[in-house]
Amino acid sequence: MVDEPSGGESPGGGKRRPGRPPKITDPAGSAAAALGAELRRLRIDRGLTLGQLGRLVDYSRQHLGAVERGTAVPSEVVVSACDVAVLANGRLVSMLPAVIREQARVRHQRGAARRAGRSTDLVGVRAQQLCGRDLDWARLADAARRPSRLSTAVVDDLELITDRQRPLYHELSSAEMMVHVQAHGGLLVSLLDSAQPDSLRHRVASAAAEAAGLAAWLWYDLGDVSTMSHCYQQARLAADESSNTGLRSYILGYQGLVARAQGRPESALRFFDEARLSAHRSACDSTRSWLTVLTADALARVGRSREALTALDTSRSLLAGRDSRADEWMYDFNEGSLAVHAGTCLLALGRPKSAAAELTDALRLLPVSCERRGAEIQVGLASARLVSGDVEEAQRLALSSLETFAARGSVAGLHRVRRLRGMFQVRGHASVAAAIDERSRALGAVPG
């Protein structure tokens, strides 16, 4: 007889003793509770006890029970392991971003409450020390809660944090980075609520725009388009306040990339055109090269082939003759980076062999640490190989990129592979599509 797979078991792993019914979690109580309730439902459907699930995923029954009750927040590793064990096909993984967002909000609220409490306590202590003096205690309490004025040294440190967070995208998953990036962005935005010297205020606004833009890209990678859009709106507002038109063009460029990935080339082209207009006099040559090659790709996707080729040549000229300036907020756009976008542009123009050559160069020039970026290039190269008739190599690249995206928890990347899988199906390679499906299920990597 199978042990009853409910939320409570005896220490020996048998079924629950009478007299203590399992505690039912209300899925509507919180995002963590919803994830826990879904995990419990799927576990029961599979006929697993908590102890059996714990042995499968190598985590304690007590911890998994707390996750199911919504009283413990699981890590990405725990959720991924449980997703595979209960055959959730990515359902649990897709629920994790909402939990992360919820926890960040809770921490922010608790931190604000603690700061307010400490301010009041400090005022009370000071009041006792000054006992006998005629003071306006309400005014003093308000002063204690007033934000400090910024100094150049503090802004230097804030900008350093902003700069250091961006490269971590290649080392950590989006879910792992999200809370910290949003917390840093929230701090920067809060500093804009107080009066600061214009020179420092513009620098803080620029850092806030960068942080919000990075958060938006992370939410896109996690598959939360709604939150992504909100973050991009925040980024544009902060960029406008910074009076940095070049930074504004950079954010517009990324919004265009998202629109392109969502299959909206006309919308992407509008973003890129606006970005190039903003960058014309304020951005360095490498930034303008990046925006121009993005425009070339968008033009190719809407059927404006001649203009696309002209823009591609212009982008190469800008990069070859770039000046010594570098926009501090722009990533290191170089020949390898250009080759990525040139490859996707040529693929859209119906030139798969030329596209494959560019994308192969891009992979060769890519730093080893940029695994997720490499997987994105592999998807493009797989498409080029498939169109050229090299189905075996296309399949290898597709499965390799799938492994990376699944390991990094990239929902956007999994959607790329799913679209590639559709190309195999349409071209009559059902066995390859089936192989991708099978590997996706084994990895628990089916996007929601």
Mean pLDDT score of the chain, rounded to an integer? Answer: 82
Rounded Cα–Cα distance for residues 199 and 132 (Å):
43
Distance between start and end Cα atoms, the chain: 35
In the numeric block, which tokens belong to residue 377? Answer: 């290039």
pLDDT band at 348 (very low <50, low <70, confident <90, very high): very high
Share of the chain above pLDDT 70, in %: 83
Rounded Cα–Cα distance for residues 424 and 106 (Å):
44
Domain that holds residue 74: 31-98
**379 falls within a domain:** yes
pLDDT in tens, 206-218: 999 999 999 998 9
Examine the pLDDT at 394 and tell me if it is beyond 90.
yes
* pLDDT of amino acid 71: 87
* pLDDT of amino acid 6: 41
Query: Of 107, 38, 102, which Cα lies nearest the Cα of 67?
Result: 38
pLDDT in tens, 165-192: 888 888 888 888 888 888 888 888 888 8
As to burial, measured by CB atoms within 10 angstroms (0-12 exposed, 13-18 middle, 19+ buried), residue 315 is buried
Query: Of 74, 34, 88, which Cα lies nearest the Cα of 175?
Result: 74
Domain termination residue (choose one: 98, 118, 146): 98
Integer Rg of the chain from CA: 26
**88 falls within a domain:** yes
Rounded Cα–Cα distance for residues 355 and 106 (Å):
47
In the numeric block, which tokens belong to residue 49? Answer: 């006890």
Examine the pLDDT at 203 and tell me if it is beyond 60.
yes
Give the domain CATH number at 77. 1.10.260.40
Examine the pLDDT at 18 and tell me if it is beyond 60.
no
Examine the pLDDT at 128 and tell me if it is beyond 60.
no
Examine the pLDDT at 267 and tell me if it is beyond 90.
yes
**416 falls within a domain:** yes
Are the C-beta atoms of 329 and 250 separated by less than 8 Å? yes
**386 falls within a domain:** yes
Rounded Cα–Cα distance for residues 404 and 39 (Å):
24
Q: What is the mean pLDDT of residues 328-354?
A: 90
* pLDDT of amino acid 367: 87
* pLDDT of amino acid 5: 39
As for how many domains the chain has, the answer is 2
In the numeric block, which tokens belong to residue 267? Answer: 């919308």
pLDDT in tens, 359-371: 999 999 988 888 8
Using the 8-state DSSP alphabet, how is residue 13 labeled?
S
Are the C-beta atoms of 412 and 93 separated by less than 8 Å? no
**258 falls within a domain:** no
String of DSSP letters for 79-129 = HHHHHHHTT-TTHHHHHHHHHHHHHHHHHHHHHHHHHHHHHHHHHHHHHHH
CA 315 from chain centre, in angstroms, equals 28
Interacting residues of 9 by C-beta distance below 8 A, sequence separation 6+: 3, 15, 16, 49, 50, 51, 61
Q: What is the mean pLDDT of residues 111-131?
A: 52
**180 falls within a domain:** no
SS3 328: coil
Domain termination residue (choose one: 98, 120, 139): 98
Rounded Cα–Cα distance for residues 61 and 53 (Å):
8
* pLDDT of amino acid 125: 53
Domain termination residue (choose one: 59, 79, 98): 98
In the numeric block, which tokens belong to residue 191? Answer: 């500093």
Query: Of 109, 120, 112, which Cα lies nearest the Cα of 143?
Result: 120
pLDDT band at 119 (very low <50, low <70, confident <90, very high): very low
* pLDDT of amino acid 15: 47
Q: What is the mean pLDDT of residues 268-280?
A: 89
Rounded Cα–Cα distance for residues 338 and 361 (Å):
10
Query: Which alpha helices (H) appear in 174-261, and where do they start and end?
Result: 174-191, 198-221, 225-242, 245-261
pLDDT in tens, 21-49: 555 666 677 888 999 999 999 999 888 99
Q: What is the mean pLDDT of residues 74-96?
A: 81
Examine the pLDDT at 329 and tell me if it is beyond 70.
yes
**295 falls within a domain:** no
pLDDT in tens, 87-112: 887 788 778 877 877 776 776 666 55
